[in-house]
Amino acid sequence: MKVRAQMSMLFHMDKCIGCHTCSVACKNLWTDRDGAEYMWWNNVETRPGTGYPTGWEDQDHYKGGWKRDNKGRLKLTLHSKGGGVAKAFYNPSLPELEDYYDPFTFRYGDLFGAPQGKHQPTAIPVSKITGKPMEINTGPNWDDDLGGSDIFAANDLSMNGVDESVRAQMEEIERVVFNYLPRICNHCLNPACVAACPSGAIYKRGEDGVVLVNEDKCRGWRMCVSGCPYKKVYYNWDSGKSEKCILCFPRMETGQAPACAHSCVGRIRYMGVMLYDADQIEAVGSLPDDELLDAQLNMILDPNDPEVIAAARLAGIDDDWLDAARRSPVYRFVKEWGMAFPLHPEFRTEAMMFYVPPLSPVMSVIEDDLIKLDLPDERQDFELLEELEKARLPLEYLANLFTIGDVEPIKRVLRTMLAVRTFKRRQSVDGTLDDATLEMLADLDLTPFKAEQIYRLTTTPTMDDRFVFPPYHREMSLEELGDPIKAKGGMGFGYRRGPERGA
């Protein structure tokens, strides 16, 4: 057992309101620069939809992630090592700018400087790359809230396997349904971006698992962009270097939540330490699809297990971190309560950001179907529990996103969430817990105590409940041995010069 620690984020999709505050916070902090305008290290996609860059889940096209070959071995989908070098002069699997969008701004000055005339002056759109006037054909979140859904939602790959009749229903205006999928880099355990980088410029930090691009070593071969199945590495066309979400490590090192999580209006994001067994990375990645999800979740170790604690100490993880791992809200959702999954585990990068699938639309469909009226009040909640197949957002769809097409785990989570709601309603509205409610909880392996815990962490968590950061002990890191005066007046992060584009 080789224990390593990972900072993980959990997204409670049920609570996301699609406000994009997270994306804007991230952009203001990190990517408001030449060459990075089109980068959305954090983005929020309307689902169903094709996401950003468009169609990123289509690995036949983009060749991201890992695959299991017919001998059961794990192979990078993009290239062999020789192929990676040979394709240095042209990378056939790179998304084009059109798959993102041509970044634009508006010539606001025209509004003030236009000469007196008969018409109102307008601010015309100009390309942020060429500076020339342009026609805007697409942009970030062009399909927000299902805008243009005949193009975007209709081409969503995760709709495969969803019954035709259900799909047809989803397009009827009164049944239309969507939810939001916030995405950042998954800081994977078996990152395909690292494996695809010919220069060896990308690495995973041992102490917290953050995956970073060493900007000094990056030579702009762009293989990481293609290799990442989540398309979360971006190529900066100005500096000629690749960039990606850094999980705001400078903030975490000083005990603050990453900008996206800190600013989240829906308070949907949780962060905490996860311990995992690094020895299993390759074996788990090579398992057949139907064993993949469970095995991946099993790599996450119990921070209360004495053996794990001993192994973690041997691996140099200090007690502060073990303590944080025991208090991790992410661990509770993912392991203790089994309520969250990684996004697209079939990409085999062993993603370490987790999602609690959304429930809300399920409620409304049952109400829309007027089932509510046919039932005596006391049966209502239990009926919902059995009617998940009628959910407006099809279970198959969520299963394609999170559980490699298996609807059972999704059902279990949605039932758990429904049960907690029912339990709280009985408790706070009726003031009593009837046998039927207790029975329902027991069926789902829940006790009133556990249900209460889930309820609290879901609905009324404080900042400190949501974000549990261990001290980073930077004072013990190697770079502290260097001369701090050298970096005085510099840019931070170890640069002695501004990041200018080379000639």
Contacts with ligand SF4, residue ranges (CB under 6 A): 16-22, 44, 180, 182, 185-188, 191-193, 211, 228, 230, 232-233, 244, 264-266, 268, 349
Query: Is 307 near another protein (CB under 8 A)?
Result: yes
| Core vs surface per residue 58-90: b (16+ CB within 10 A) or e | ebeebbbbbbbeeeeebebbbbeeeebeebeee
Report whether 209 contacts 317 (CB < 8 A): no
Q: Which helix (H) or strand (E) element contains residue 260?
A: helix 259-263
Scan for tokens 């008969």, then name that residue: 118
Q: What is the largest CA-CA distance in the chain?
A: 80
For another protein, the closer CB: 192 or 393: 192
β-strand 3-12 against 354-356: which pairing, if any?
Answer: parallel
- Nearest distance, CB of residue 321 and ligand SF4, angstroms: 21
| Residues in region 63-82 near another protein by CB under 8 A | 76, 81-82
Closest to 132 measured CA to CA, from 124, 140, 142: 124
Mark the segment that binds another protein (CB under 8 A) among 154-162, 218-226, 294-302, 359-367.
218-226
Residues 427, 274: Cα–Cα separation, whole Å: 33
- Nearest distance, CB of residue 276 and ligand SF4, angstroms: 14
Residue type, 181: L
Query: Is 502 near another protein (CB under 8 A)?
Result: yes
| Residues in region 238-277 near another protein by CB under 8 A | 238-241
Residue type, 2: K
Query: Is 489 near another protein (CB under 8 A)?
Result: no
For another protein, the closer CB: 147 or 494: 494
Mark the segment that binds another protein (CB under 8 A) among 156-164, 257-265, 307-315, 416-424.
307-315
Residue type, 258: P
Closest to 312 measured CA to CA, from 4, 10, 57: 4
Instruction: Give which of ligand SF4, another protein, none residue 185 binds (C-beta under 5 to 8 Å, depending on kind).
Output: ligand SF4
For ligand SF4, the closer CB: 264 or 414: 264
Query: Is 199 near another protein (CB under 8 A)?
Result: yes
Residue from 109, 133, 200, 490 that binds another protein (CB under 8 A)?
200
Residues 322, 113: Cα–Cα separation, whole Å: 61
- Nearest distance, CB of residue 460 and ligand SF4, angstroms: 16
Report whether 308 contacts 301 (CB < 8 A): yes
Residue from 70, 71, 72, 89 that binds another protein (CB under 8 A)?
89
Site string for another protein, 155-194 (x = CB under 8 A): -----------------------------------xx--x
Residues 225, 222: Cα–Cα separation, whole Å: 5
For another protein, the closer CB: 39 or 146: 39
Query: Is 284 near another protein (CB under 8 A)?
Result: no
For ligand SF4, the closer CB: 18 or 422: 18
Query: Is 94 near another protein (CB under 8 A)?
Result: yes
For ligand SF4, the closer CB: 19 or 311: 19
| Core vs surface per residue 357-395: b (16+ CB within 10 A) or e | bbbebbeebbeeeeeeeeeeeeebbbebbeebebbbbbb
Query: Is 401 near another protein (CB under 8 A)?
Result: no
Instruction: Give which of ligand SF4, another protein, none residue 132 binds (C-beta under 5 to 8 Å, depending on kind).
Output: another protein
Residue type, 300: I
DSSP letter (8 states) at residue 93: T
Query: Is 204 near another protein (CB under 8 A)?
Result: yes
- Nearest distance, CB of residue 129 and another protein, angstroms: 5
